Structure 1
Amino acid sequence: MARLLIADDHDLVRETIAAFLQAEGVGEVTTAPSLGAALSIVQQKGRFDLVLLDYNMPGMDGLSGLTRMITANKGPVAILSGTATPGIAEEAMRAGAAGFVPKTLSSKSMVTAVRFMIAGEVFAPFAFLQQESRIGAGNLSPREVEVLRGVCDGKSNKEIARDLDVQEVTVKLHVKTLSRKLNARNRTHAAMIARDQNLL
């Protein structure tokens, strides 16, 4: 019998998914309301065949929570989300996630996805990854994402250039192109859009 751990700070979402997976005979499901609680459970109970982590719950800190859980569980860990963009899904899988499960997935598809990941495969919903995000965030290059992160942290072009080891003029160019792609009026507006849309 497979052992699953679902961590989500929304009680209803967490318990509904857990109850459904158990009813479908996928395995024995344990739940947690935060990353910290989930890490404690893994410490006490040992490796789970699959851990599902909500992307936006307390303690996650972007994808660093995913990395911490992969290290702790030494087994498949996937991201569960209702708001993350295709870009975040791809980043999660590059960071070692066993998959990305949108909360909008039908019950039947979720069961299939979970069984797939327990079997050691990587689950990525093709239709979701093909979507353009509402404001074109999926169009940003990896370097533009890094520059945008610096802008969101309130850094000047000079500081971002130093962090990324590039010329200040290069950063200016990236700010210009990413602002255009996000339909932002200026760098402050770009940072606001990034925050509102959970782009980083």
Structure 2
Amino acid sequence: MSNINLLPWREVDKKLRQQRFFTFSGISLGATLLVMSMLNMVIGGFIDNQKQRNTLLMQEMQVIDVKLGKIKELRGRKDKLQERIALIQSLQRSRNTPTHLMNTLPQLIPAGVNLAKLTFKNDIIKINGTSDSNTRLAVLLRNIEESTWLIEGDLDSIVALPGEEGNRFEMRFSVTPMKTEAGS
């Protein structure tokens, strides 16, 4: 029994196993390459699709930026128009103020008070004049305070004139905006 040689059978079996190993390795390598190339194509398709979407979004953002610029320009125009409208409404409300002032002022000024100068600027009226006594100036201030549209009467200065001529004074007061006929 010692003469039996089992080596050739083992060599054939070893060659068969090596052949199967290399075959399965080649098949698995081919399958792996096939799967990798398919995944590469699929992922490449996703990337191309995303790039197209990004390009579309960038184009839409540019269109929206242009529209936003137009909206900002329109808002600027709107603000300018609203300022003009407010100015016109302000002028409309105050257009009769000088006439109303000239009609009301003689009723407010007591006898013995003479006006020399009247200045009307930014709803503030400054008057200069003379009076017989300080009492008459107090009456004038009281009349201004009791008025419904004249406010903040303030006597800036009183200077006694030489002799019995009276006093020189400077006074200022404000005008409240008058209501228009439409009630605004």
TM-score computed with the length of structure 2 as normaliser: 0.23
Greater percentage in helix: 2
Greater percentage in strand: 2
TM-score computed with the length of structure 1 as normaliser: 0.21
Look at both structures and tell me which one has the larger radius of gyration over its CA atoms.
2
